[in-house]
Chain A
Amino acid sequence: MSNAMSERAEHASRRPLWPWQVLLLVGLFLFWHVLTRSEVLPPFFFGEPLQVLGRIWDWFASGRIFPHLGVTLLETLLAFVLGTVLGLACGLWLGLSPRAARLLDPYITAFNSMPRVILAPIFAVWFGLGIWSKVLLGVTLVFFIVFFSVYHGVREVSPVLLNNARMLGATRTQLLRHVYLPSATGWVFASLHASVGMAFVGAVVGEYLGSARGVGYLILQAEGVFDVNTVFAGVIVLTLAALGLDRLVTLVERRMMNWRPKVQEHDLHG
C-alpha cells in the first residue's frame, strides 16, 4: 500500500505525460481520417478509422469478440507460463552444470537461430488446430528469451553471496532455492516484457495459419473478403490486449521486486 502511495506522490511531482500521449493518439487518428476521407489514400486499402472504431465498438457491445479474445489470451498465457518455467529450469540447470552446457551448446545456438515461426505448420500437423499448436509455438519463442537471460545470469551470481550462504550452512539444493532462484527472478523479469510480446506473437501467428477461433482467425477471415476495416480493428484489439498484459507484468514485477532500489530512470534521461 505504501508503495502505491509513494508512487502516486512521485507521479504528482512530475508533470503528467498522459494527456500528451492521448493527444498524439487522437492526432494520429485524425490524420488517418483526413487522408482516407479526402481519398489521398484509398480507403479500400487503408480503411477508415471511424468504421474501424465502429467495428470495435460493435464487437464489444454485442460481446462477439469475447470468445475469440478469450482463446487468444488463454493461448498467450499458457505459452508465457510454460515457456517461462521451462526457460527458467533449463537456464538454471545448464548454468550450473558447465559440462552439459558445453555438450548442448551447438544445439542451443542452432535452435535459437532457426526461424521458429516456420514450425507453426508442423505443430499444426502434430497437435491439430486446437489451442495446443499455438501454445507450443509461443513456448518455443518465449523459452529462449528466458533461457538465455537466466543462463547468463547464473554465472553472474555474486560469489560472495554464494560463499556466505555456504558458510551459513546451505546445502546444494538450499543454494539453489535461497541464492540462485532469488537472483534469477531479477533476470527473468527483465526478459518477461519481451517474452509476453513473443507469447502473443506465437498465439496470433498460430491462429493466422489455421484455426477455428481467436483474434488471429478473425483477421484471417476478414482478409479473405478484403474487409480492411475489420483487419485493423483486430490489430488494434490485439495491441490493446498486449499493452494490458505488459502492464500486468509490470505490476507483478513491482510486487515481487520491492527489495530492489528504485531506479530513477527519468532522472537519468532528464
Chain B
Amino acid sequence: MMRGHPANSSIVARFMSSAPQSVPALVLDQVTCTFPGRGSTRAAYTAVQAASLTVHDGEFVSLVGPTGCGKSTLLNLAAGLQAPTAGTVHAFGERLRGLNGQAGYLFQADALFPWRTALDNVAIGLELRGMPRSQARERAGDWLRRVRLGAHAAKYPHEMSGGMRKRAALAQTLILEPRMLLMDEPFSALDVQTRQLMENELLELWAQERRCVLFVTHDLEEAIALSDRVVVLSAGPASRPIAHYAVDLPRPRDVQEIALHPRFVELHRAIWSALKQEVMKAHEQRDV
C-alpha cells in the first residue's frame, strides 16, 4: 500500500481526521537511553534519562541544547533506530517496536546514496515500496522541481553543492509523505545565505501540509524563527528537557524579517538565559 495521495486530498483528509480527537504525534514517556561501556575500559554512559516530550500533530518543535547532550539520541529514539533502555515511545498512539514507520528522518550527516543520481535518490523510497521504476521517477521529478533541483536531476551527489544535497535529501524524505519529520541539524553545514533560503523554503513546504516536525539545531535563532515551541535540554549526562517556550510569533514567517520582531528578541533573551546555564555546565564538565 502506498501512503501517498494527491497533495490536495491529503490536506483535507488530515484536517478532518485531526480535528475531532487529536492523538499526539509523538510521546516520549520517561525514556532513558544508556550506552553500554566497551569492556572494562569505559563505564556505561547514560545520555538521556527520564526524558518526557510530547509533540502534537502539525506542530513544529525545536530541540536546543549544548553539544553532546543527547539531541541526536532523542531523534533516534523517536525514529526507532535506537531502543530506549527504559520508558516508552508512542507514535500516533501506537507503541513503537522497531522502526517508526510514520517518520521521515533527515540526518545530520550526508545520507544520499552516492551511486544514485539526484532523481534516483529521490525515487528510492517509492521503489522500495514496490512502485514501478518509471512511475517512481516521474514523481521524483515533480519533487525535485519542488525543491528547485529540476535542472540537476542527472547529477550524482558528489557533483552537487552542500545546499543542493540537503534539498535532494529533503525531497527524498518528503516524497514518502511521512506524517512526522525528524530533522537533525539539517542546515548547520550551510553558509548563512543558503541556510536562510532553505529555512524559508522549509517553512513554505511545511505550511502546505502541516506535518509535525521535530527539529534539532545548535542555532537558537533558527529554532525560534521556525518553531511553534522550543525545548531546552539540560547538559549531559542524563540529559532531559528542562524548559518549554511557546513561540507565539505570527505566521507565515520570513526568517530574516522575523528576527527583527520585538517578541522574537524577547523570546531569544529568555531562552538564551536558560540555555546558557546548560552550555556553561557542559563546558565545565569538559574541562574537568
Using a CB–CB cutoff of 8 Å, the interface residues on chain A facing chain B are: 158, 160-161, 163-171, 174, 178-179, 182, 185, 258-261
Q: Indicate the member of B110, B111, B117 with the most A CB atoms within 10 Å.
A: B111
Complex formed: what's the CA distance from A174 to B125 in Å?
Answer: 11
Given A163-B81, A164-B111: A169 in contact with B105 (beta carbons within 8 A): no
Question: In the bound complex, how far is the Cα of B111 from the Cα of A169, in angstroms?
Answer: 14
Q: How far is the CA of A259 from the CA of B114 in the complex (A)?
A: 7
Q: Is the CB of B113 within 8 A of A167?
A: no
Q: How far is the CA of A165 from the CA of B81 in the complex (A)?
A: 12
- Taking CB atoms, residues of chain B closer than 8 Å to A161 are 111, 113
* Distance between A261 CB and nearest chain B CB, rounded to angstroms: 4
Q: A163-B107, A167-B79, A169-B125 are in contact. List 4 more A-B contacts (CB 8 A).
A: A163-B111, A168-B128, A169-B128, A170-B128
Per a CB cutoff under 8 Å, which of A166, A171, A185 touches B81?
A166
When the two chains form their complex, are residues A182 and B115 in contact, meaning their CB atoms are under 8 A apart?
yes
CB pair B103 A167 closer than 8 Å: yes
- Chain B 123-146, CB-CB to A under 8 Å as 1, else 0, gives 011001100000000000000000
B148 within 8 A of A: no
Distance in angstroms between the alpha carbons of A168 and B131 in the assembled complex: 13
- Contact check, B107 vs A259: say whether CB atoms are below 8 A apart: no
Contact mask for chain B residues 64-105; partner A; CB cutoff 8 A; 1 contact, 0 none: 000000000000000101000000000000000001010111
Asked if B110 and A160 make an inter-chain contact with CB atoms under 8 angstroms apart, the answer reads yes
> With the chains together, A259 CA to B125 CA distance in Å?
20
Which residue of the partner chain B has the closest CB to A174?
Answer: B128
Question: Is B116 an interface residue when CB atoms closer than 8 A count as contact?
Answer: yes
Q: Which residues of A contact B101 (CB under 8 A)?
A: 169
A168-B176 in contact given A178-B128, A259-B156, A261-B158 (Cβ < 8 Å): yes
Whole-angstrom distance between the Cβ of B266 and the nearest chain A Cβ: 37
**Given A167-B99, A168-B128, A174-B128, A182-B113 contact (CB < 8 Å):** yes
CB-defined contacts of B99 to chain A, threshold 8 Å = 166-167
B109 proximal to A (CB < 8 A) = yes
Across the interface, do A169 and B129 meet the contact criterion of CB distance under 8 Å? yes
Q: How far is the CA of A69 from the CA of B79 in the complex (A)?
A: 59
Complex Cα spacing A137 to B85, Å? 52
Closest Cβ of chain A to B94, distance in Å, is 17
Chain A residues positioned under 8 Å from B62 (CB to CB): none
- B172 proximal to A (CB < 8 A): yes
Partner of B105 from A163, A182, A185, A260 at Cβ < 8 Å: A163
Minimum CB–CB distance from A170 to chain B (whole Å) comes to 5
CB distance from B114 to the nearest CB of A (A): 6
A interface secondary structure, majority? helix
**Residues on B facing A (Cβ under 8 Å):** 79, 81, 99, 101, 103-105, 107, 109-111, 113-117, 124-125, 128-129, 156, 158-159, 172-173, 176
* Contact with A167, one of B81, B114, B159 (Cβ below 8 angstroms): B81
Report the separation of the CA atoms of residues A110 and B110 in the bound assembly, to the nearest whole angstrom.
40
Contacting pair B114 A178 (CB below 8 A):
no
The answer on a CB contact under 8 Å between B115 and A259 is: yes
A179: which B residues are within 8 A, CB to CB? Answer: 113
Least Cβ distance of A171 to chain B in Å? 8
Q: For B113, what are the chain A residues with a Cβ–Cβ distance below 8 Å?
A: 161, 164-165, 178-179, 182
A178, A259, A260: the one within 8 Å of B124 (CB): A178
User: Are the C-beta atoms of A160 and B114 separated by less than 8 Å?
Assistant: no
Partner of A164, one of B107, B115, B158: B107
3 closest A-B pairs by CB: A164-B111, A168-B125, A261-B158
Chain A residues in 8 Å Cβ range of B173: 167-168
Query: Is A169 a contact of B176 with CB atoms below 8 Å?
Result: yes
B102 shortest CB reach to chain A, Å = 11
Q: Are A168 and B114 in contact (CB under 8 A)?
A: no
In the complex, chain A residues whose CB is within 8 Å of the CB of B158: 259-261
Residues in chain A near residue B176, CB distance under 8 A: 168-169
Subset of 14 A-B contacts with CB under 8 Å: A160-B109, A160-B111, A161-B113, A163-B111, A164-B111, A164-B113, A165-B128, A166-B81, A167-B103, A167-B104, A168-B125, A259-B115, A259-B158, A261-B159
Give A166 to B103 CA distance when docked, in angstroms: 11
| Set of chain B residues within 8 Å of A167, measured between Cβ atoms | 79, 81, 99, 103-105, 173
Nearest-neighbour CB distance to chain A for B11, whole angstroms, equals 23
Select which of B103, B111, B116 is within 8 A of A259 by beta carbon.
B116
Which chain A residue shows the least CB distance to B99? A166
Q: Which residue of chain A lies nearest to B169 when distances are taken between CB atoms in the complex?
A: A164
Measured in the bound complex, the distance between the Cα atoms of B113 and A158 in whole Å is 10
Complex CA gap A158/B124 in Å reads 17
Shortest B182–chain A CB gap in Å is 9
Determine whether the beta carbon of B172 is less than 8 Å from that of A160. no
